[in-house]
Structures are given as C-alpha cells and as structure tokens.
Amino acid sequence: MRIVIALGGNALLQRGMKGTFEDQQKAAHLAMEQIAQVVKDGHELVMTHGNGPQCGAVFLQHVAGEEHANVPAMPLHVCGGMTQGFLGELLQQELDGALRQVGVNKNVVSIVTQSVVDPKDPSFNAPSKPIGPFYTKEKAEEMQKEKGYHMMEDAGRGYRITVASPVPQYFIEEEAIKTLVNAGFVVVCSGGGGIPVIFEDGKIKGVDAVIDKDLSASVLAATTSADAFMILTDVPEALINYRKENEAPVREATVAQMEEYIKQGHFAKGSMLPKVQACIRFVKATGHPALITALDYALQALKGERGTKIIP
C-alpha cells in the first residue's frame, strides 16, 4: 500500500521537553524506529509533519530577537521554510538510520514544499491563528503600525501576532513528489502544512500565514493517490464524550457517523477536530480509509487492532 503519514508536533518534540537539538533528535529517533517498521512491512511511504514548536522558536529568534542580533529578521513564511529544512535533515538522518537497522535499503529525501492558497481566502480578512511571544498593548500598536502585523489580544495573556490560516489548494512541487515516490524514494514533504504562497503578477510569492498540517496532509494523500492516510498523534483513538465519564474510543466509523459526532461537538477545535475533518476529506475524495492513532500504534492500526478508522 502507498501510505501517507502525518506526524504530529509532539511526535517530534514531546511535551515538557525544552527543545534542544538533542531533545528533538531523541524524539525523532524514537518516531523513526516506528515508521521504519511500516516501510519494512513493504508499504510505500510519504511522510509529512507538523512544525508548530519549531517554527515558533525560529520566529522568536527572528522577530523578538532582532534588536539583539545584527542580522535582518526573516518573515514567517521563511521561518516555515527553515523548519522544513531543519526537520527534513533530522528525519532524513533518523529514518535512514532506522531503515538500515531493519535492513531496508531505501533513500529518504525531503522537499521544500509550497502550498498554494487563494489570496481571496476568507481567513485573510479574519486572521485567527496567534503565533510567537506576547507583547504589551503599546508594543503591539507599534508593531502593527511599523511592521504591518495584525495584532490581537489572546485570552487575557497579552497581544500576539495573529495570522490567517488559509485552506491549501495544491502543492507547487506536486509532480516532483509523485515522481520521487514512484521511483521508490521515501519522501518527506509539506512540513508544517507547506509554505503558504500565492501567485502575484504570475510569480510565486510567500505569504505570512499558517496552514493546518492535518488539512494539507489530506491534500497530499489525495494528490499522491494514497491507499491509506494515517495521522499519528499522542492518543490511540479519537474519543467521543472526551474527558467525560462515558468517554469512549471510536474504533471504526463511516464518514456520516463522524460528521454526526462533529455536529455533537465531540472533537476539540484546533486539536482533534482538524484531524477528523482531514480524514473525512480524504475518504470522501478517494474512497480509501483514513486512520488516527498514536505513534506507537501505527502498525497495529494498519492491521485494524487499534486506532480510529474512518471509512466511506
């Protein structure tokens, strides 16, 4: 089977870790040991990943640290590109090592991937995604005036740069991704949802926005004609009645059942909901199954023993 796997941010940086290179290398090492088993079982793999903590850190170094550093700050979309490179390096090295360990001779290659968004996407008029550090009201007003950032108050904790979260339409590198997968490479791409770009006067231009990685992963899965789409996070199954006494895992459900659960409000916005929505999108587009499970249960989920499986 050709499987598209989306790795959650916490598969690459566990909660409570500080985020040193060694922390992230250790997390990637553990994750790639699991992923290598999927490749060893004979599956073709396309992998994508989140970049929330990493992009936040790079952005901080660029925006908040600019008065200390004598180097120009880079815009958010470039920070996204940097994290694709950094995490690409890490995953290439760790997955290469893990594949060697299990005796699989396959090359891992990562692609700096651009996600095309509609410049008229309604989210550009209603930025909703807060990123980076907190600022005072005065500093926020100054940043809005001088740098054009959209600043918003975030839950009583201070002001933050707030960006749009547009829907990804397709990837500029689509043909390159397909060619490499067809040639037998393990491909890492569209990290962090892909670098958001628009066309302006016929030219590609990066824009400051954050694309939901689960949503872009489902676009990737449909684009690469995947036989299955799997989102790996830190819970073995999506739950209904989440955090209530009658909490229960969803093991297998149709798109219609999942849509009903969404209506009833079982999945939290910004965490489980985008995963379920991404799965529904893939299943509707392809008729193939989608899975949500924890990193450690990837193999079991493919065998139907664990995880949430969404079917037509």
Selected from 47, 131, 161, 235, the binder of ligand ADP by CB under 6 A is: 235
Q: Which of 9, 52, 193, 307 is catalytic?
A: 9
Would residue 80 show up in a list of annotated catalytic residues for this protein?
A: no
- Binding of ligand ADP by 192 (CB under 6 A): no
Selected from 260, 268, 303, 304, the binder of ligand ADP by CB under 6 A is: 268
Closest approach of ligand ADP to the CB of residue 69, in Å:
29
Q: Which of 81, 191, 194, 275 is catalytic?
A: 275
Selected from 3, 4, 5, 8, the binder of ligand ADP by CB under 6 A is: 8
Please report, as a single letter, which amino acid is at residue 303. K
Would residue 139 show up in a list of annotated catalytic residues for this protein?
A: no
Compute the Cα dihedral for 219, 223, 229, 231 and give only its sign.
negative
Q: Which is nearer to ligand ADP, 174 or 234 (CB)?
A: 234
Closest approach of ligand ADP to the CB of residue 271, in Å:
3
Would residue 10 show up in a list of annotated catalytic residues for this protein?
A: yes
- Using CB under 6 A, which of the segments 125-133, 165-173, 195-203, 263-271 binds ligand ADP? 263-271
Would residue 284 show up in a list of annotated catalytic residues for this protein?
A: no
Selected from 3, 239, 279, 294, the binder of ligand ADP by CB under 6 A is: 239
Selected from 4, 211, 238, 291, the binder of ligand ADP by CB under 6 A is: 238
Q: Which of 26, 106, 129, 178 is catalytic?
A: 129
Alpha-carbon span 214 to 116, nearest angstrom: 16
Closest approach of ligand ADP to the CB of residue 47, in Å:
14
Would residue 275 show up in a list of annotated catalytic residues for this protein?
A: yes
Binding mask of the shown chain, residues 34 to 53, with x at each position contacting ligand ADP by CB under 6 A: ----------------x---
- Binding of ligand ADP by 267 (CB under 6 A): yes
Q: Which residues bind ligand ADP (CB under 6 A)?
A: 8-10, 50, 233-235, 238-239, 242, 266-268, 271-272
| Residues acting as catalytic residues | 9-10, 129, 213, 275
